[in-house]
A = this chain, B = another copy of it.
């Protein structure tokens, strides 16, 4: 990277603090957007509930980050039984003051040949690690597969069992089963072997329900955010440029053990693709469904600018495919 400090009086930390200010604004924008769009999503839901297979059709038109994870057998389940999809920013609902980046993705299913569940909800918490990482973490959600129908080949249940074991160990203050604490428990070993013997690209979409992400607790995240805020305030009030020794936080120990026990490494990316792309763009993807390459769009009024390489309407046009993200 270029070195501003060598050639100018600007320090790394000044730029980093400015980025964090942009980040604060971005969080506020997400919050405001969630507030304004919520009634529209409710209205949309009332409409699309009346359209048979709406969500399945939308998923068929999903962008590659999603579509690439939906295997033919997954597709069969989704197309025959998915009845509803809902994304919520659960930490800011009902007056909540949590992180607007946390999302819950809830699927409802009609009775089907694969599993007993009628609701599968996966929650993602936005966390910051003391090492500086920020992103979505989650907890495994098990699925009650019908005999011989487990599309994850038992992997999801193993992940859940390991998780439960770790939770129990943590409660008993016995660190033995704690994720990444060194020696693996027998259950962890079995899971690790199973993951190693399953091609990651060969994972069912439903393995995503087992995604955990980094082991960052709510407490660690809270402390990290708090400390960062204090440091920023300190730098903002101090005119000293001797802030080069800003807390160069410990290198984020990218724990190999953690990765070994992760069954769905793309889990965060898939969650974001659903929450920030598929969910806001559902009507757009639905319109695309069956549209193929033809120009007879849903409605001529909604036509995008055809000049681009992309079939998608341009940003800014009323029928535009929404953005994946909405950062400042």
User: Which residues of chain A have a CB within 8 Å of any CB of chain B?
Assistant: 1-2, 4, 7-10, 12-16, 18-23, 25-26, 28-29, 32-33, 36-37, 40, 43-44, 47-48, 50-52, 57, 101, 126, 128, 131-136, 228, 248-249, 251-252, 254, 259, 265-266, 268-269, 272, 276, 280-281, 283-284, 286-291, 296-309, 314-328
Residues of B within 8 A of A281 (CB): 327
Nearest-Cβ distance from residue A317 to partner chain B, whole angstroms: 4
- Minimum CB–CB distance for A218 against chain B, Å: 16
Measured between alpha carbons, how far is A138 from B272 in the docked complex, in Å?
34
Q: A15-B298, A28-B36, A322-B328 are in contact. List 18 more A-B contacts (CB 8 A).
A: A1-B298, A2-B51, A4-B50, A7-B51, A19-B319, A21-B40, A22-B322, A29-B33, A33-B326, A33-B328, A136-B316, A248-B300, A252-B300, A254-B306, A268-B308, A272-B315, A280-B327, A323-B325
Min Cβ gap A31→B in Å is: 11
Let me know if A318 and B23 touch, CB within 8 A: yes
Q: Are B25 and A37 in contact (CB under 8 A)?
A: yes
A18 to B328, CA, bound (A): 25
Q: Which residues of B contact A16 (CB under 8 A)?
A: 298-299, 301-302
Inter-chain contact A25/B40, CB cutoff 8 Å:
yes
Contact A290 B22 (CB under 8 A): no
Given contacts A32-B32, A36-B29, A252-B300, contact A1 B317 (CB under 8 A): no
Bound-state CA distance A246–B43 (Å) is 21
| Contact B133–A18 (Cβ < 8 Å) | no
Listed from nearest, the 8 A-B pairs whose CB atoms lie closest are A323-B325, A326-B326, A132-B301, A322-B327, A134-B317, A8-B50, A315-B325, A1-B291
A325 lies within 8 A of B326 (CB): yes
- What residues of chain B lie closer than 8 Å to A303, measured between beta carbons? 132-133, 252
Q: How many chain copies?
A: 2
Closest B residue to A22 by CB, please name it.
B40
Are B18 and A300 touching (Cβ within 8 A)? no
Which of A51, A57, A254 gathers the greatest number of chain B CB atoms within 10 Å? A51
| A51 and B308 form a contact (CB under 8 A) | no
Q: How far is the CA of A23 from the CA of B252 in the complex (A)?
A: 41
Rounded to whole angstroms, the CA-CA distance of A134 and B48 in the bound complex is: 26
**A29 vs B28: C-alpha distance when bound (angstroms):** 11
Contact between chains at B300 and A327 (CB < 8 Å): no
Show 17 A/B contacts (Cβ-Cβ < 8 Å), sorted by A: A1-B288, A1-B291, A2-B57, A2-B290, A9-B50, A10-B48, A10-B51, A19-B318, A25-B33, A128-B318, A134-B318, A135-B304, A135-B305, A252-B303, A266-B308, A272-B315, A323-B323
Taken together as a complex, chains A and B put the C-alpha atoms of A248 and B248 apart, in Å, by 61
Contact flag A269-B314 (CB < 8 Å), given A8-B51, A40-B22: yes
Residues of B contacting A276 in the complex (Cβ-Cβ under 8 angstroms) = 315
Shortest Cβ gap from A217 to chain B (Å): 17
Min CB gap A263→B, angstroms:
13
Q: How far is the CA of A43 from the CA of B236 in the complex (A)?
A: 13
> In the complex, are the beta carbons of B272 and A132 less than 8 A apart?
no
- Is the pair B316, A320 in contact by a Cβ cutoff of 8 Å? no
